[in-house]
């Protein structure tokens, strides 16, 4: 199996050091939306892990209330427990804490500082994981919850800057803000996908299912891009294909 994977790396001109040859990991980094992503109230990572059964393991490195700068300061311990040579994909879901509040109710960083912090974070990941294995997600459209207030104009400004940073660093950006605006049309409808808490929001169960259905196709595309033939062969053969070893010949007691 390893030889097949190595051969596929060569055929697809993938640098050998960047080619996953073991059971791959999907590493999920980020803030509120990530820390809670295996909970029964916000289970989008649990859904993703189930969807990737026998293909890849999903590891959660979420930290609630963290903005981009504070997450970068803790990036090293977030990565050190993971075999970075075996990461097939990084989902980086970060930035909503940076954009809350029109008058600095919570973090609300200036756009230039946010862009600099996001660039540092991506480069920190890219030091050991290829940038083309990163999916960047920023957050939803504008929100009217008191603890997570931001206008959609502010959400758009941060979203546009994140797109620019992603393009500059050769990272795939998933535009959740504009996708939700397209799918739900109005703030009262898209806000039904979130639970407010003391200093922000996270997905509720409906929002988690919505986000899982949005992201899973992108996850599979990225994993196929880097795992190639190995991706098509699930770990453990399907039971109808399982070959039982031949039983030993009975001993001749005569």
pLDDT of residue 235: 65
Contacts by 48-53, CB closer than 8 A, 24 or more apart: 48/212, 48/215, 48/216, 48/219, 51/212, 51/216, 52/26, 52/219, 52/223
Distance from C-alpha of 88 to C-alpha of 221, rounded to nearest angstrom: 11
pLDDT of residue 249: 75
Decide which of 250 and 173 is more confident: 173
Decide which of 237 and 219 is more confident: 219
pLDDT of residue 30: 93
**Domain 29-231 has what CATH class?**
alpha beta
Q: Which residue reads 């393991």 in tokens?
A: 57
Judged against a pLDDT cut of 70, whether residue 237 lies above it is answered with no
CB 58 within 8 A of CB 48: yes
Decide which of 15 and 152 is more confident: 152
pLDDT per position as a tens digit, 84-117: 778 989 999 998 888 876 544 555 678 999 999 9
Question: Counting every residue, how long is the chain?
Answer: 254
pLDDT per position as a tens digit, 2-52: 444 444 453 434 443 445 556 789 999 999 899 989 998 999 999 999 999
CB 115 within 8 A of CB 165: yes
Judged against a pLDDT cut of 50, whether residue 211 lies above it is answered with yes
Confidence of residue 171 (pLDDT cuts 50, 70, 90): very high
Query: Would you list the domain boundaries of the chain?
Result: 29-231
């Amino acid at each position: 199996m390893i030889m097949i994977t190595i051969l596929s790396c060569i055929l697809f001109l993938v640098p050998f050091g960047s080619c996953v040859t073991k059971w791959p990991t999907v590493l999920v980094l980020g803030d509120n939306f990530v820390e809670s992503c295996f909970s029964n109230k916000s289970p989008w990572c649990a859904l993703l892990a189930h969807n990737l059964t026998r293909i890849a393991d999903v590891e959660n490195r979420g930290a609630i209330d963290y903005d981009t700068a504070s997450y970068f300061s803790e990036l090293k311990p977030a990565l050190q427990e993971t075999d970075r040579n075996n990461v097939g994909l990084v989902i980086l879901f970060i930035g909503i804490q940076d954009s809350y509040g029109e008058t600095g109710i919570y973090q609300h960083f200036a756009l230039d500082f946010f862009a600099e912090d996001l660039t540092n974070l991506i480069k920190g990941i890219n030091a050991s994981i290829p940038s083309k294995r990163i999916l960047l997600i920023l957050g939803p459209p504008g929100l009217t919850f008191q603890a997570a207030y931001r206008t959609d104009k502010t959400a758009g400004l941060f979203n546009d800057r994140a797109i620019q940073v992603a393009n500059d660093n050769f990272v795939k950006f998933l535009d959740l803000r504009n996708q939700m605006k397209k799918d739900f049309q109005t703030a009262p409808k898209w806000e039904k996908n979130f639970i407010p808490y003391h200093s922000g929001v996270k997905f509720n169960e409906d929002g988690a299912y919505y986000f899982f259905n949005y992201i899973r196709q992108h996850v599979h595309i990225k994993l196929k891009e880097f795992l190639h033939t190995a991706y098509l062969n699930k770990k453990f053969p399907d039971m109808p294909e399982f070959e039982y070893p031949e039983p030993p010949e009975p001993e001749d007691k005569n």
